[in-house]
Amino acid sequence: MLSKRIIACLDVREGQLAKSVKFVDTRDIGDPIAKAKEYYEDGLDELVFYDITASSDKRDIMLDVVEAVAAQVYIPFSVGGGIRTVEDANRLLWAGAEKINVNSAAVLRPELISECAYAIGNQNVVLSMDIKQVKVSDTIPSGYEVVINGGRTPMGLDALAWALQGEALGAGELVVNSIDADGTKAGYEINLTRMIAEAVSIPVIASGGAGKPEHLLAVLTEGKADAALVASMLHFGEYTVSGLKQWLHEHGVKVRLKYA
């Protein structure tokens, strides 16, 4: 039986680990390579790096981070942030990433998903969606809207419709990130996650809002997510990967426990 995955998300800005609250206020909190290694040793299932470097001329720093992580960490990891072309995706794969995450650029130009899927395989293309709850309307029948630019720009695009379109274009996995829940530590957006997980036939990774082990339990059971993304719970040392997995195991969730 397949295990539920715990995925650590590391936001990297100019080579440094950063953590945002509601996508606006970010502060640097350490070395992403050391963190990645630490979590790997402690039984993490997968890693995601988001490059939040603002200026494009400093983006090559991320390639060095990816190279260094790939030399030390032998679990799957994906990289997102600033991928606009197949060439961007290939550079990251060559540096050692397993998968790439596309987000805003795919909303603006959906063919990016199919181009990447053709070039590097569906299974290596993750569509990351930033989503905000809105009033149900004709354009947004699900009541959830896709936003870009770190949550600042609403796109008039229904989140459920976008998830299905992303799957049809060749995305191999979906990250469902709730902008409302992000950074609140008040729990994942369960309704949103379940709605999308039930609609698509590719794995769904829940993101945004994790603060307690109970939140992971809820999204992996009620929320029907295949994997849960965590960030600050781990980054500030409040919880450990092995501790979280042991707790989930004791609460009936199948997770990978033997990794040493």
Partner 1 sequence: MLVIVDYDAGNLRSVLRACEHEGIPACISADPQEIMDADRLIFPGVGSAESAVDTLHARGLDKAMRDFFATGKPMLGICLGSQIVLQKSEEGHRDCLGLVEGVVEKFDLADKTLKVPHIGWNEVEILRPHPLLSRIESGDEFYFVHSYFTRPANAEDVYGVTDYGGRFCSMLGHKNLFATQFHLEKSGKKGLSILAEFGVWDGCV
| Span of 121-129, 182-190, 215-223, 232-240 interacting with partner 1 by CB under 8 A | 121-129
Distance of CA 88 to the CA centre of its chain: 18
Tell me which of 11, 45, 88, 158 is the catalytic residue: 11
Check binding of 201 to partner 1 (CB under 8 A). Answer: yes
82: Cα within 13 Å, side-chain hemisphere: 22
Segment contacting partner 1 (CB under 8 A): 14-22, 65-73, 81-89, 234-242?
65-73
> Which one of 9, 33, 45, 80 is in contact with partner 1 (CB under 8 A)?
45
Catalytic-labelled residue, pool 45, 51, 88, 130:
130
Among 39, 40, 162, 239, binds partner 1 (CB under 8 A): 40
Which of 216, 222, 223 lies closest to 255 in space, CA to CA?
216
Rounded CA separation 250/120 (Å): 38
Which residue stretch of 23-31, 70-78, 142-150, 184-192 sits at the interface with partner 1 (rule: CB under 8 A)?
70-78
CA-CA distance, 105 to 93, in Å (whole number)? Answer: 18
Catalytic residue status for 31 = no
Q: Which stretch binds partner 1 (CB under 8 A): 31-39, 89-97, 141-149, 228-236?
A: 89-97
Q: Which is nearer to partner 1, 30 or 203 (CB)?
A: 203
Return contacts of 18-23, CB within 8 angstroms, 24+ apart: 18/52, 19/231, 19/232, 19/235, 20/52, 20/150, 20/182, 20/183, 21/182, 21/183, 22/151, 22/179, 22/182, 22/183, 22/184, 23/130, 23/150, 23/151, 23/152, 23/179, 23/182, 23/183
Would you call 130 a catalytic residue per the annotation? yes
3 belongs to the binding site for partner 1 (CB under 8 A): yes
User: Of these, 196, 217, 227, 231, which contacts partner 1 (CB under 8 A)?
Assistant: 227
Tell me the per-residue interface mask from 158 to 197 with partner 1, x by CB under 8 A, - otherwise: --------------xx------------------------
For position 256 contacting partner 1 by CB under 8 A, the verdict is: yes
Beta strands in the chain (DSSP E): 5-13, 16-21, 25-30, 46-51, 77-80, 99-102, 125-133, 144-148, 153-158, 173-178, 204-207, 227-230
Radius of gyration of the chain (CA): 17
**Catalytic residue numbers?**
11, 130
Site residues (CB under 8 A) for partner 1?
1-3, 5, 40, 43, 45, 70-72, 74-76, 93-94, 96, 98, 121-124, 172-173, 201-203, 226-227, 256, 258-260
